[in-house]
Amino acid sequence: MSEGIDAIVPVGHKPIVSRDAVASGLLHLSESSSGAIIDGLVAKGDVLEASTIAAIQAVKETPRIIPHCHVIPIEGCNVSWSWEGTSLRCTVAVSAHWKTGVEMEALAGVTSGLLCAWDMVKSMEKDEDGQYPNTRIDSIEVIEKVKGG
């Protein structure tokens, strides 16, 4: 580490205020995979239930997977799912009262939730060569970040 550079930005001097963030992303799937999720026919179980748990775990574990993130006392986390054609959208809202924001936690939640969903249907998404020509995760973004009060 270079002299004078902190591994974690000091926030001790900052006031504790409410922090909220909402992030979202899309998992593009085949018709057969999206249908299997909707109809509850995925061999590994309930995709949305398992992926919600994965998203919540990721929110809580963000400082362990992103080295420069502070440990934040998370007060709330909401995970929601919606369909856009055959694409599955995950939206994660996180809240806390702390000295730094929770957008990385929301992004980690979205990413992990979508990865879990992909993992659960990957056998249906592979082509004859074992590749994923049409499956992809994209549009991961922070929709809203609020600091105040």
Find the CATH number of the domain harbouring 127.
3.30.70.640
The residues that bridge with 81 in the sheet, in sequence order, are: 90
pLDDT at residue 146 in the model? 97
143 located within any domain: yes
pLDDT digits (tens, 9 = 90+) for 38-69: 999 999 999 999 999 999 999 999 999 999 99
Mean pLDDT score across all residues of the chain: 95
Instruction: Give me the number of domains the chain comprises.
Output: 1
Q: Which of 39, 119, 127, 129 is catalytic?
A: 119
47 located within any domain: yes
2 located within any domain: no
pLDDT at residue 1 in the model? 46
**Is pLDDT of 147 > 50?**
yes
Confidence of residue 7 (pLDDT cuts 50, 70, 90): confident
Q: What is the average pLDDT across 72-81?
A: 98
Give Cα 36 distance to the centre of its chain.
22
7 located within any domain: no
How far apart, in whole angstroms, are the C-alpha atoms of residue 19 and residue 25?
21
| CB proximity list for 101: less than 8 A, separation 6 or greater | 19, 21, 145, 147
pLDDT digits (tens, 9 = 90+) for 116-130: 999 999 999 999 999
Reported as half-sphere exposure (CB side, CA atoms, 13 A), residue 121 has a value of 31
Catalytic site residue 119? yes
19 located within any domain: no
Domain of residue 96, residue span: 27-148
pTM for the model stands at: 0.93
8 located within any domain: no
20 located within any domain: no
How far apart, in whole angstroms, are the C-alpha atoms of residue 69 and residue 58?
13
Say what percent of the chain tops pLDDT 90.
Answer: 89
**Is pLDDT of 32 > 60?**
yes
